Amino acid sequence: MLYEKMKKKQRQPKVWQKKKKIPASETQTDSVNRKSALIQLNEESVEKFSQFLLSAATLKGLKQYSFLKPTLVQRLSLKPALLGKDVIVEAKTGSGKTLAFVIPVLEYIYHEKITQFDGPVAVILTPTRELARQIYDVFRRVGRFHNFTILNIMGGKTRVSWLVVFNNFPLSAAGHYF
């Protein structure tokens, strides 16, 4: 009798699927309109970052750090990168490559409605610590008005310094919680 009562009370497991929130400001039609406007954009005539139809959060971050006009590298590479195409850029130091690389990642995070709870979105590998720090700093500065988390992982740190870093990031793996 007790077994039958327990059997009736057992519920089937529910499968929850995360649904993407679509704010009123960004519908599928808006996305298509934005992409078609980007396709028609003449990169050589761009004078302001806003002409790339960037999110308000990205534009605010750019303005706060006095990135007002795109460099030649940024003008030529942002359009294809924002359209989801692969871009390879070779240019001298100080030409704006890092920002041209960071902006499309931030825009992807924004338009896909990705939050800090969605897990890793981008893994960026660099050949030097200096470049890793530079990219990290640009992401933090320009992306400060976006809802994402960034972590700069480099070798050569002590266990104590990693504990401080990971204190803000709950990590788990196969039944273990670190």
Mean pLDDT of 22-42: 71
pLDDT at 45: 84
What residue type is 73 in one-letter code? V
Residue 152: alpha-carbon gap to chain centroid: 14
pLDDT at 10: 52
pLDDT at 98: 93
- Per-residue pLDDT tens over the stretch 102-125: 999 999 989 888 877 777 788 888
pLDDT at 117: 77
pLDDT at 112: 86
How many residues are recorded in the chain?
Answer: 178
| CATH label, 43-160, candidates 3.30.70.100, 3.40.50.300, 3.30.70.420, 1.10.760.10 | 3.40.50.300
pTM across the whole model: 0.72
pLDDT at 14: 43
User: Does residue 176 have a pLDDT over 90?
Assistant: no
pLDDT at 177: 42
User: Does residue 69 have a pLDDT over 90?
Assistant: yes
Q: In the structure, what pLDDT confidence band is assigned to residue 8 with cuts at 50, 70 and 90?
A: low
Structure tokens at 158: 């002590």
- Per-residue pLDDT tens over the stretch 73-107: 999 999 999 988 898 888 899 999 999 999 999 99
User: Does residue 173 have a pLDDT over 70?
Assistant: no
Asked if 60 and 145 touch (Cβ cutoff 8 Å), the reply is yes
Q: In the structure, what pLDDT confidence band is assigned to residue 139 with cuts at 50, 70 and 90?
A: very high
Element (H, E) at 6: helix 2-9
Domain ranges of the chain: 43-160
Among 21-35, 109-123, 135-149, 157-171, which range has the highest average pLDDT? 135-149
Mean pLDDT of 56-72: 93
Rounded Cα distance between 141 and 103, Å, is 11
